[in-house]
Amino acid sequence: MGRQRQMILNFFMNSTGFHETAWRLPSAEPEGVTQLSLYKKMTLIAEQAKFHTVFLADAYELGEKVKHQALSRLEPYTLLSALAAVTERIGLVATVSTSYTEPYHTARLFASLDHLSGGRAGWNIVTTGIGNTHLNFGRERNYEHAERYQRAMEFVQLAGKLWDSWEDEALLFDKARGLYADDERIHAVRHKSRSFSVEGPLNLPRPPQGYPVLAQAGSSEDGKELAAQIGELIYTAQQTMKDAKAFYADVKSRAERYGRNPEHIKIVPGFSVIVGATESEAREKEAELRESIIPELGLHRLSKRLKVDLFSYPLDGPVPELPDPSTINENRSRFELMKTMIESEKLTIRQLIERVSGGNGHRTFAGTAVQVADELEEWFTGEACDGFVIRPQALPAGIDDFARLVVPELQRRGLFHTEYAGATLRENLGLPRPANQYAARRGEERGVQPV
């Protein structure tokens, strides 16, 4: 009998929780949003519970909701480098945009984080089509949807060339002969295209993992194609198990068509959770968050996301007709998810605000440890996912609740590991270390078949 399949758990960390007004709760620490101590405390809880990764979002603009929402966020490389020094096994995943950074700079930063952490870095690849980010980078507009994904594919492929520009055997450390490195094993990249011009090589050795783990979030057609070709940890959002199973089967089959092993693609939908010692306690926490909602904030967020001015409609009336999804340039897959949810559940504007405040389109759930574990087990064993991105609606209390109550229940059922499998993030996720393309090419030129 084979070993029981076990789920991947990722802790999506922000400062005060994923309910947009959780910062108002007595247990919240909004004054700590720029303090290492808050993130260190939460990350250590997650590592002690054996979460595979701590996962950071990022954006390159303040946004327009700071009046009512705790939006300040630290730059992820800096924060994760600090957390690398106080952790040992948990993976460190940073969100970085391919639309507003450059391949050489990004490849160097991730190589640095992977070296400093002993092989625990992950890159959440996003294409950034939301808001006014372009105004902070001297652009007249954000890239169009298809253009963003074309750029992202080339960007990631170029980053791979840069990580591979040093073969694993390039470092010699030969003090007697005065040879630090074998320069025949260090390669120029010489990449030129309409979008990028990079000479290379990278100015530091290949990362311990070869490449950082490549995470990706996007459920549009372009997003699924990118995931199938280069993604390894796929972060997604579905409201129902039926939709999750369809996404899971779709992306895995696309990956197979590209010659990839589907077991090397881990699909992890987001779950926005509230956990209580009893069901009544969970409901009380849920009600407390509901009472913290500021309708103005919800109306602003949804009007921007749905491209309809909801301020001119009654809160307890139906959501008005929405635009065709094909006209949406900003996060099209999330727009389609919300449109489907509104139409299938016949939500009023107030109900939609309540749903989105805590989940932003992700599955939301409140209950006891057993009830939460039941929900996660059903999705996991039903081939809807390979694990989850846990998004506690209130932090820091929410990660402590999940780690203290839910993780032991999952472990008792044999659904989650009790110890890390290895030292690197790739080892812990069961992902292979990528072969070096330059070393393989050199072997082929000598008539040696790459392993």
Verify cis geometry, omega within 30 degrees of 0, for the bond prior to 201: yes
Per DSSP bridges, beta strands 179-181 and 121-126 are unpaired
Do residues 151 and 127 lie in contact, with contact meaning Cβ atoms separated by under 8 Å?
A: yes
Instruction: Give 10-residue mean pLDDT values along the chain (451 residues).
Output: 85 94 95 96 98 94 81 89 98 96 98 98 92 90 91 97 98 98 97 97 98 91 94 94 96 97 97 97 96 91 87 92 78 77 88 84 92 98 97 97 98 98 98 95 58 32
Q: How many C-beta neighbours within 10 Å does residue 79 have?
A: 22
The pTM assigned to this predicted structure is 0.92
| Cα–Cα dist 384/369, whole Å | 20
CA-to-CA distance for 440 and 437, rounded, in angstroms?
A: 5
pLDDT of residue 145: 85
Contact criterion met (CB below 8 Å) for 246 and 379: no
- The superfamily in CATH containing domain 8-445 is Luciferase-like domain (3.20.20.30)
The span from the CA of 104 to the CA of 202, in Å, is 7
Contact by Cβ (8 Å): 80, 94: yes
Alpha carbon of residue 20 to chain centroid = 18
pLDDT at 306: 87
> Which DSSP symbol is given to 387?
E
The whole-angstrom separation of Cα 32 and Cα 22 is: 14
Q: Cis peptide before 103, with omega less than 30 degrees from 0?
A: no
pLDDT for the residue numbered 448: 42
DSSP 73: -
What residue segments make up the domains of the chain, in order of their start?
8-445
pLDDT score at 245: 97
Report the DSSP beta bridge partners of residue 273: 365, 392
